[in-house]
Structure 1
Amino acid sequence: PRNQNSFIRKQEGSDSLACVFVCLCFRGAFSEVVLAEEKRTQKLVAIKCIPKKALEGKENSIENEIAVLHKIKHTNIVSLEEIFESKSHLYLVMQLVSGGELFDRIIEKGFYTEKDASKLIQQILDAVKYLHDMGIVHRDLKPENLLYYSMDEDSKIMISDFGLSKIEGSGSVMSTACGTPGYVAPEVLAQKPYSKAVDCWSIGVIAYILLCGYPPFYDENDAKLFEQILKAEYEFDSPYWDDISDSAKDFIVHLMQKDPNTRYTCDQALQHPWICGDTALDKNIHESVSAQIKKNFAKSKWKQAFNATAVVRHMRRLQLGTSHEGPNPCPTEDTGTSCG
Structure 2
Amino acid sequence: MLPLALTGLLALSACQLAGHDDAAGDARRLNTMEALPLYAYLPDPSSDGGKSIGKAQWILAKQCMVRLGFSGFAMLNGAAVESTYPVRRGTLVSRGTIGDESPYGVDDPDRAAEHGYHDRGQEESSQPQEWPADQYVALTGRFDSGDSHQAHGHPIPEGGCLGQATRTIYGPSPRTTKVNGLKLSGTYSPAVELWYESHKEARKDPAWKKADRAWSACMKEEGFRYPEPDKASLDSAWYRSDRPSGKEKKTAAADARCKLDTDYIGTVHAIEARAQKAVIGKHTKELGAMRAADERAVRNARTIIDKESKESKESKES
- Which structure has the highest strand share of the two? 1
State which structure, 1 or 2, has the greater radius of gyration over its C-alpha atoms.
2
Report if TM-score (shorter chain) is over 0.5: no
Q: Larger % of helix: which?
A: 2
Q: TM-score, normalised by structure 1?
A: 0.28
TM-score by length of 2: 0.29
Structure with the larger RCO, 1 or 2 (CA within 8 Å, 6+ apart): 2
